[in-house]
Structure 1
Amino acid sequence: MLKPIEMPFDTARKLLDYVSPLNTVWDEGRYIFRGQPSDLYKLIPSVCRNGEGSFAYGSPTRAFDKSSSGQVGFELDILRRFLEGCDRSGLVVPGYSEQVKRKLSDHPFFFPESFLPWPPEQLYEIMAVAQHYDVPTRLLDWTERSFVACYFAAASANFELDTMNMPKIAVWALDTTYHDSWKTVKIIRTPGGTSRNQAAQSGLFTTHNVTRYGIHDEYQSEALDEVGEIYSRARSLRPLIKMTLPVSEAPELLGLCSKLGVDGATLFPGHHGVAKMVRDWANIEVGVRHSQSAIDDCNSDSYDPDFN
């Protein structure tokens, strides 16, 4: 099985220098980027995972229904509940029409053929809005700006844990040059008006489609980094790259991103984004303190008063 190319970096500045759009290495393809707080995480949404760590883990639906029809029905139910709540609150959802509402209000065990493959294009905007408000969907968030991906990798890391025993943060780069030839993985670019945050972040999505629907078809969750077509139908020799950085460097990475104009205030327009910027600043302070404490502990452990 083909695997992503892994590139470890030991400092935040080296990582930023490499992912810079001025680096000609990115001219070899049309790359999009994604940041994650751990290099152990695979490219798979929580709603598509099996077992611990998946969305609603432990619920009867997740525990007993392992079929593709059960998986799609579960995702449909999440969207229905989101849209029903928006209806009750009088909220407008881009892409939500009377036609879509009728289809989604069908019996939960009825799956219209027009919804295959799942998810269908007519639900892309709705799913993007739901994703924006932290409702889990089959979509994975990406950005066309590498520095934005670096920000999200660093901002989502936990600076308060023992950094010596933590996994590294990760920034992924996916070559989408020939995505039109992919069969099950789709690139989704919804209009900028779908979400102010999405526009500010130059955001887009990928989805790994379900192509078969049946109660006897076992659902197999497959991470994007394990899908063969993104490797076999690529233009470059590096279709998928995973760049890693010690979590102890995350505070420095956040600080450098801020100097480049990439922070909570610019990526989340509005008061919420400004508040996030303040929380990021506090996290940087915490991270620097923990990193310095770890260094002091190492120096203390290595000190031998009898050594001359």
Structure 2
Amino acid sequence: MRAVVFRTFGGPEVLEVAETPLPEPGAGQIRIKVAAAALNPADLSLRAGRFGSRGLGTDLERLGLGLDVAGVVDGLADGISSPEVGTAVIAMVAGVREFKAYAEYVVVDAAAVAVAPGSVDLVHAATLPVGALTADEALTLVAAQPGDRILITGAAGGVGGYAVQLARHAGLHVVAHSHPGDAALLRELGAHEAVSDLDGPTFDAAFDAAGLGDAVFASVRDNGAYVTTRPDLLPDTQRGVRVSAVQAAPDGPRLAQLAALVDQGVLTPRVAMTYPLAEAAKAHAHFAEGGVRGRLVLVP
């Protein structure tokens, strides 16, 4: 099979397509024939070496990328009977491994897999796992109550957009923060208010999906809640504000619930552009430019 790999840290140019053996599912795993793999910021960070070489060993050799996958079940390990071969599925691919979702096939733990939403194609479904799981976990950590005012930064992005929709669905008063030109999009996603500036501690809670830090923390009232995607920017607890950092983890049952919300019209997967697998480097360069509204998706 073909897979996108890199052998050294660096810019998009280090990505290459390699011919690799077809992966075999091990105990508790399934093999997915990949229909689409969405790009995430973590992919760019890993490729660039921003996480360092932790867990990668002393010899990088070659590593794959891709946390978000949508495709069709192609093979099952002994003892795994569901989902059946031929079922359209989505999953978050975890861990450091040689081949991940930027490939024609990928092996994942069965516990990470959910049946794909039936109301959208697999290219759109591929944007769901990491973004929606992160947003859902962030709102769990926020623990806001219906009617509370919540600020969501990076609200036009992949994670922030899902957070806006989930927060609105939960009955929160959603104030979405992004560039002024995104106001119409944010209201379309369900935000009650769209802002580009912050002014004072006016929010019961904040999900800082953009990782802006101190200015967002300062906008939360005393005894409120602040959740960020950047654990390295986690502020010290003060004024009674609960602080925490969110990190998505594979969770098939939770992902199935989020897929159901797509079919109910609560969540709207957004795709900005697709690229063939061979143009992974071009897709990474596009993503790095910023300003992408919706996910970039690789299609084998």
TM-score band (shorter)? under 0.3
- Point out the structure with the larger helix share: 1
After TM superposition, the score normalised by the length of structure 1 is 0.25
Q: What is the TM-score with the length of structure 2 in the denominator?
A: 0.26
Higher strand share: 2
Which has the higher Rg, Structure 1 or Structure 2? Answer: 1
